């Protein structure tokens, strides 16, 4: 009984640590261009005309695959560089979900 409780506790701690991690990765690596909220109301965002990830339109036009591709390989001809050497597959998976979560409610 006791061990099971400890295991559940450890798992939920791990899960919440992961949610924090992806927000930290976003802040460290993506926010400077895409903004806190994905709306890209940043200097680079305005100059490069980066799309607003909070729009339902944007979300509709971007499949998980497309988002993953942009993060791993970058967007050619833009300032969006690929992160496949800098982020783990787990971090990229988490970012795909994070980007999905940016849609304005």
- Interface segment toward ligand HEC; rule CB under 6 A; list 1-9, 14-22, 76-84: 76-84
| 67 sits near ligand HEC (criterion: CB under 6 A) | yes
Q: Report the alpha-carbon angle 17-41-21, nearest 5.
A: 10
Distance CA(14)–CA(16), nearest Å, equals 6
Site string for ligand HEC, 27-66 (x = CB under 6 A): --xx-xxx---------x---x-xx----------x---x
Q: Taken in order 45, 48, 52, 53, is the CA torsion positive or negative?
A: negative
The smaller minimum CB distance to ligand HEC, of residues 8 and 37, is found at 37
- Which phi and psi (to 5°) does residue 74 adopt? 85, 180
CB 46 within 8 A of CB 103: no
- Residues forming the site for ligand HEC (CB under 6 A): 29-30, 32-34, 44, 48, 50-51, 62, 66-67, 70-71, 75, 78-80, 83, 95, 99
């Amino acid at each position: 009984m006791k061990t099971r409780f400890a295991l559940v506790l450890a798992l939920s701690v791990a899960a919440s640590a992961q949610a924090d991690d992806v927000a930290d990765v976003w802040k460290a690596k993506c926010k400077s261009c895409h903004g806190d909220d994905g709306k890209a109301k940043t200097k680079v965002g305005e100059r490069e005309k980066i799309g607003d990830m909070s729009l339902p339109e944007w979300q509709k036009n971007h499949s998980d695959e497309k988002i993953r591709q942009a993060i791993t390989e970058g967007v050619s001809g833009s300032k969006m560089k690929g992160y496949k050497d800098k982020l783990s597959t787990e971090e990229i998976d988490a970012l795909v979900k994070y980007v999905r979560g940016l849609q304005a409610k």
